[in-house]
Structure 1
Amino acid sequence: MEEFTDASMVPLDLKQPLSNLLLSLADDEFILGYWDSEWTGVAPTLEEDVACSSIAQDEIGHARLFYQEVAALTNSTPDQIAYNRKTSEYRQVQLVERHRGNWAFTCARRIFYEAADQVRLDSLRNSTYLPLAQAISKIQREEVYHQMHSNAWLQRLATGTPESYQLLSEALQQLWPDALALFEPFPAEDILQTAGILPDPSATLEQRWLGTIVPLFERLQLPLPIQKTTDLFQPTVVARLGGRQGQHTADFTELWDQMTMVYRLDPQASW
């Protein structure tokens, strides 16, 4: 299968689907990083102040790597892509754009997202778009620590006090519909698969993700609206789709207004 060494090697009919894929990956990281940065200074402990700041910085850095590839495909700049779009032009899932909520809510969102991110990154390491595959290798070295952090807090809250278990359970129940949209298919996904840019379909990745989540939640006796039928995991709640198509929440509108304020005042500013 043909490999694409840089943006100039990508055929015209693949550029828009590839840009959409990269935007989805970037926007997920970018928006989650922004919300997590708000814990700096108000997290439960001083150690978590530092951890949240570091994780948020990592996520925004990862987003920049993806935005740089979009810029190469579209003759734009990372700053313009990150800050100079309408809310409907962002492609993140609604899970990452919810207001940070309480600590249990943040931890619940993290366990869903980090497990899904690991599954997707493992697959994209084999992408025929080599700049993406190479970026993934760098990102994964940092993401492994994010997953360790989220797993540690899941265990701590689930096995801590009755109150921590209740708060975590409530957050998980609230977020399951959003979490099930993490593998909403990308636009023109079939074209990306044929070219090998997207090695695995989203439906396959979702099953792999659930294969990691289900045993963990069963062990900790956490809310699990999933049934196992033959070799498939079947959700019993409806996924809240639309983020990949530009359908977003009021929480994101609020965040967009904050995070684009400087750019809108001075488009020449850099981040």
Structure 2
Amino acid sequence: MEFTDASMVPPDLQQPLSNFLLSLADDEFILGYWDSEWTGVAPMLEEDVACSSIAQDEIGHARLFYQEVAALTGSVPDQVAYNRTLTEYRQVQLVERRRGNWAFTCARRFFYETADQVRLASLTTSTYLPLVEAIGKIQREEVYHQMHSSVWLNRLATGTPTAYQMLTEALQQLWPDALGLFEPFQNEDILLAAGILPVPSATLEQRWLSSIVPVFERLQLPLPITKGASSEESSAAVYHPTIAAQLGGRQGQHSADFADLWDQMTMVSRMDPQASW
């Protein structure tokens, strides 16, 4: 069954769908918020412009998802974005770390953009048609984000010894968070049964690893992943992380970095919750 708009969603699906959309939105919103801090202080003028543009895109993508949450909950996007407690946010912990240095930002952006590419591609067959429509718009902009992140990963990895060292240090720091990118969504089984989420998160993680492992091998970058034998049912290799993933973000467990950011970004809303803009 396809759902053409929020009014078509049955009551038992409304909360799981709303939480799912919040996860997508919060990932984009929080990463966009942090990356916007590079505007004016990036390593070169072109990157001032690029970071500003990418951050604006991500926050715009978040708004598309927040609009759908608002339609499901009878709210408005600004209230959805700002009028929640800290533990009601659903982003993965990768996106909520402070922006760090340039190598840290580039490493995080590569992890996120490659994972987002896999996730967005899978959602084009979702049974929730407003989501499919939003994904179509988002993918047209994400193509440039992915190109930008790939260029910088290669540039740092093949540049000076200092650049390579800073990149590898950032990647080693971020790998646990990156492995949390496909932390299962709340009520994922319900979303899968309804076709809203077409592919399980565990399957998407394997697709993502299969896309980035060759890049890390080619550039001789830290890779805490082993490749296992394929199963009888599939010829694809199976990838096994050798370190533990940092999980909890999808369940509302967040870092001290996000606690500080939440306090800052919701300050005005908490001063006057009924204000309209």
TM range (shorter): over 0.9
Q: Which moved more, 1:108-117 or 1:254-263?
A: 254-263
Name the residue aligned to 1:260.
Answer: 266
Name the residue aligned to 2:213.
Answer: 214
Name the residue aligned to 1:147.
Answer: 146
Name the residue aligned to 2:227.
Answer: 228
* 1:173 partnered with 2:194: no
For residues 59-138 of structure 1, the aligned pairs below 5 Å read 59-138=58-137
The count of residues paired between Structure 1 and Structure 2 equals 270
Name the residue aligned to 2:195.
Answer: 196
**1:160-208 deviation per Cα after TM superposition (whole angstroms, max 9, x unaligned):** 0000000000000000000000000001111111111000000000000
C-alpha deviation, 1:257, in angstroms: 1.1
**1:212-234 deviation per Cα after TM superposition (whole angstroms, max 9, x unaligned):** 11000000000000000012100
**2:250 alignment partner, one of 235, 244, 250:** 244
Name the residue aligned to 1:11.
Answer: 10
SS of alignment partner, residue 233 of structure 1: strand
Structure 1: how far apart are the matches of 2:271 and 2:38? 26
Name the residue aligned to 1:23.
Answer: 22
C-alpha deviation, 1:103, in angstroms: 0.2
Structure 2: how far apart are the matches of 1:112 and 1:204? 17
Q: Which moved more, 1:261-270 or 1:19-28?
A: 261-270
Q: TM-score, normalised by structure 1?
A: 0.98
Report percent identity of matched pairs. Answer: 81
Does the 8 A contact of 1:226 with 1:236 survive in 2?
A: yes
Q: In the alignment, residue 239 of structure 2 is paired with which amino acid? A: F
**1:95-143 deviation per Cα after TM superposition (whole angstroms, max 9, x unaligned):** 0000000000000000000000000000001100000000000000000
C-alpha deviation, 1:269, in angstroms: 4.6
Q: TM-score, normalised by structure 2?
A: 0.96
**1:219-259 deviation per Cα after TM superposition (whole angstroms, max 9, x unaligned):** 00000000000121000000010000000000001111111
C-alpha deviation, 1:270, in angstroms: 5.2
C-alpha deviation, 1:268, in angstroms: 4.5
Structure 2: how far apart are the matches of 1:125 and 1:266? 38
C-alpha deviation, 1:265, in angstroms: 2.5
Name the residue aligned to 2:47.
Answer: 48
Does the 8 A contact of 1:98 with 1:251 survive in 2?
A: yes
Structure 2: how far apart are the matches of 1:28 and 1:106? 15
Does the 8 A contact of 1:207 with 1:233 survive in 2?
A: yes
**1:25-60 deviation per Cα after TM superposition (whole angstroms, max 9, x unaligned):** 000000000000000000000100000000000000
